[in-house]
């Protein structure tokens, strides 16, 4: 059965716009008694069918596969195989991140014996009320397709269903085929057609013609329309269509985290990030927008600033999305279809229409003002420790247009969303659907695997680094160079800032020895003695070439020097955890205790209640 599965996966291809791609380009794995004699034997017997990649952590290899799939615009991915038990459940976080971000990843964990004869086997979960339950059942909520193959012939329909979901842009996410260790090794006379070359066409569905006509009418009547460009713009390769449409119509474009790069930063209609981590330009336009055109966005709370971003009376939404579920959000006019096809169809219907001159001038002024603000934050001259915005500026200015920046969690994604000057649709890769600490290095590896010709800059805080740094070893083993900028701010700076803003003094967010019975206080006054942790030395021990930069000038020198180094580089730079980037007239809904003995918490609660008054129902 395992041999048939490997042959099947090697034969799967996708085709879009007349170009055919192999879909499963390899298999990450860590072997144990649940898969070594099944999937492991099949991969070893015919390595030419499916390249095997060795990983150090099961969660990390799922992140790598997701990073790979995103970089390839969901037209290719990697499979991940693990043993039963902890090897399988380690993938759970990665599966959730892939599904939430709408990225195809195939998970192939081992499972307990289908025959049940040797039960309970090592690592088996036993429950008295159900004999076929295993730890793999916990993946059901976070997978878009899940099946357990208890007989070898079940593989035929199940594998086809798995592929159907993986290649469907509206349904894709993590897919799991749980493989009992005895079933993997059983034989069946599979039809030859099952393992023949197979091509899955990915079409460009056009929204309903009547809905397109109604959308055009709404936009024509708008005085201050605004486009929110999401990840669907990039996945559908609709950036050129978007560029053509907005240059002619003059409609400004705000970008979500996944959609950043839909336009280059210097495009005349690009107003940058929108929402809770948005720019002053995009957020001021959002407040007065009367028609919001969402293209390939799922409207997360960060994008809508927890339903406070769009304040105009009677604001209407026009939503272009391949997923019916997302297209109908905010009671919007749903244009269910491919982003590129829909943008081209709208452009045809609005060929004689543009926004007025006054609106164009407003957009131009806001853009110019924002560009000045970014330059200011890039060159603050903050001391004695540099500000995080200066680190971002140094990396941005010394990287090439087609280089890729990768990040995921902490305060860095918000700052990157606001400040990074994107110059290429694939140059910005921040996992913010699940905001997974530990994604950065593993995800960066996936980006490099998908685009080895590009330089990849991984921006990671010390908190995320400590959670998952071991794929540095995999990058070195595979000769896939990463440049990792390790920002050391002595703890969880992002949540420290959030905690302080809500009256709890950064409790539990700063690294330091226990002092006076407490630990992790982030008040910044009389702090605990720092821990003797040397992250640069750790990276060096894992095989990376290491630089220690104490200033922005030293960081710049290290970035320049790293370009001539062939292997993975880690540059450690300390930053001031208390020097942040402003919120720019936006808000994020984080509840505060309604009852507290703390004056600071009561004050934060009062501020929350005032801010909540701006929330809207979009009906």
From CA 401, how far away is CA 386, in angstroms rounded? 25
From CA 326, how far away is CA 557, in angstroms rounded? 45
Element spanning 7, H or E: helix 2-10
C-alpha distance from residue 146 to each of 23, 80, 166, 371 (Å): 19, 14, 12, 47
On the question of a common fold for 2-201 and 379-490+530-574, the answer reads yes
Beta strand 12-16 with 19-22 is antiparallel
* Structure confidence at residue 529 (pLDDT): 75
Length of the chain as a residue count: 619
End-to-end CA distance of the chain: 51
Q: What is the DSSP string of 175-212?
A: EEEEEEHHHHT------GGGGS-EEEE---PPPPHHHH
- Name the β-bridge partners of 457: 405, 483
* Structure confidence at residue 520 (pLDDT): 66
* Structure confidence at residue 531 (pLDDT): 85
Q: CB within 8 A of 196, min separation 6: which ones?
A: 11
* Structure confidence at residue 530 (pLDDT): 79
User: Contact at 8 Å (CB) between 223 and 290?
Assistant: yes
* Structure confidence at residue 7 (pLDDT): 98
| Angle at 50 (CA atoms; ends 89, 194), nearest 5 degrees | 95
Phi-psi region of 391 (alpha: psi -120 to 50; beta: other; left: phi over 0): alpha
**CATH of region 2-201, choose from 3.30.1330.60, 3.40.50.970, 2.40.420.20, 1.10.3720.10:** 3.40.50.970
Identify the three-state secondary structure at position 233: helix
- Answering whether pTM is above 0.95, one says yes
Domain boundaries, the chain: 2-201, 209-367, 379-490+530-574
User: Contact at 8 Å (CB) between 236 and 51?
Assistant: no
Beta strand 225-229 with 253-255 is parallel
pLDDT, averaged in runs of 10, over the chain (619 residues): 98 98 97 95 96 97 98 98 96 98 98 94 91 95 98 98 98 98 97 98 97 98 98 98 98 98 98 97 98 98 97 97 97 98 97 97 98 98 96 98 96 97 98 96 98 98 96 98 96 89 87 74 62 94 98 98 98 94 94 95 95 94
User: Contact at 8 Å (CB) between 321 and 238?
Assistant: no
Q: Under CATH, domain 209-367 is a member of which superfamily?
A: TPP-binding domain (3.40.50.1220)
User: Contact at 8 Å (CB) between 429 and 447?
Assistant: yes
* Structure confidence at residue 42 (pLDDT): 97
Identify the three-state secondary structure at position 617: coil
User: Contact at 8 Å (CB) between 111 and 57?
Assistant: no
Q: Under CATH, domain 379-490+530-574 is a member of which superfamily?
A: Thiamin diphosphate (ThDP)-binding fold, Pyr/PP domains (3.40.50.970)
């Amino acid at each position: 059965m395992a041999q048939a599965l490997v042959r099947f996966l090697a034969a799967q291809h996708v085709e879009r716009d007349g170009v055919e791609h192999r879909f499963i380009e390899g298999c990450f794995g860590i072997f144990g008694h649940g898969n070594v004699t099944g999937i492991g034997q099949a991969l070893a017997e015919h390595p030419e069918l499916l390249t095997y990649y060795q990983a150090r952590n099961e969660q990390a290899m799922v992140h790598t596969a997701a990073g790979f799939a995103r970089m390839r615009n969901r037209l290719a991915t990697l499979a991940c195989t693990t043993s039963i038990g902890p090897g399988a459940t380690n993938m759970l976080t990665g599966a959730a991140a892939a599904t939430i971000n709408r990225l195809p990843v195939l998970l192939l964990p081992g499972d307990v014996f289908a025959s049940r004869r040797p039960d309970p086997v090592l690592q088996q979960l036993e429950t008295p009320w159900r004999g076929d339950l295993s730890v793999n059942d916990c993946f059901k909520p976070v997978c878009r397709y899940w099946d357990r193959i208890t007989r070898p012939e079940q593989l035929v329909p199940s594998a086809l269903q798995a592929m159907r979901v993986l290649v469907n842009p509206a349904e894709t996410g993590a897919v799991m085929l749980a493989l009992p260790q005895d079933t993997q090794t059983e034989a069946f006379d599979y039809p030859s057609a099952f393992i023949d070359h197979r091509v899955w066409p990915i079409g460009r569905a056009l929204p309903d013609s009547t809905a397109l006509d109604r959308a055009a009418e709404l936009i024509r009547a708008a005085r201050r329309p605004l486009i929110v460009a999401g990840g669907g713009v990039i996945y559908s390769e609709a950036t050129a269509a978007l560029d053509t449409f907005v240059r002619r119509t003059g409609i400004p474009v705000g970008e979500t985290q996944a959609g950043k790069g839909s336009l280059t930063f210097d495009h005349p209609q690009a107003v940058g990030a929108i929402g809770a981590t948005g720019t002053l330009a995009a957020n001021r336009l959002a407040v007065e927008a009367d028609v919001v055109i969402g293209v390939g966005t799922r409207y997360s709370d960060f994008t809508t600033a927890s339903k406070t971003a769009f304040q105009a009376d009677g604001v209407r939404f026009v939503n272009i999305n391949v997923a019916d579920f997302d297209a109908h959000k905010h009671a919007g006019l749903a244009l269910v279809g491919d982003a590129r096809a829909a943008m081209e169809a709208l452009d045809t219907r609005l060929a004689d229409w543009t926004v007025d001159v006054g609106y164009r001038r407003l957009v131009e002024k806001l853009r110019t003002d924002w560009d000045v603000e970014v330059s200011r934050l890039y060159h603050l001259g903050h001391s004695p420790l540099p500000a995080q915005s200066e680190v971002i500026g140094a990396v941005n200015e010394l990287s090439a247009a087609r280089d890729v920046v990768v990040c995921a969690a902490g305060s860095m994604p918000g700052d990157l969303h606001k400040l990074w000057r994107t110059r290429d649709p694939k140059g910005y890769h921040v996992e913010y659907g699940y905001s997974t600490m530990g994604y950065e290095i593993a995800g960066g590896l996936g980006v490099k695997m998908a685009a080895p010709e590009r330089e990849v800059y991984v921006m990671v805080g010390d908190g995320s680094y400590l959670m998952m740094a071991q794929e540095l070893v995999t990058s070195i083993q595979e000769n896939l160079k990463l440049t990792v900028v390790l920002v050391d701010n002595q703890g969880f700076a992002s949540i420290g800032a959030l905690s302080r803003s809500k009256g709890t003094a950064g409790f539990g967010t700063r690294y330091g020895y226990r002092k006076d019975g407490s630990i992790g206080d982030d008040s910044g006054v009389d702090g605990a003695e720092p821990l003797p942790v040397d992250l640069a030395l750790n990276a060096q021990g894992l095989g990376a070439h290491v630089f220690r930069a104490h200033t922005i000038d030293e960081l710049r020198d290290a970035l320049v020097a790293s370009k001539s180094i062939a292997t993975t580089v880690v540059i450690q730079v300390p930053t001031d955890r208390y020097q942040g980037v402003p919120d720019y007239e936006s808000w994020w809904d984080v509840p505060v205790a309604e009852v507290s003995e703390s004056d600071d918490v009561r004050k934060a609660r009062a501020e929350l209640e005032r801010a909540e008054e701006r929330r809207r129902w979009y009906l």
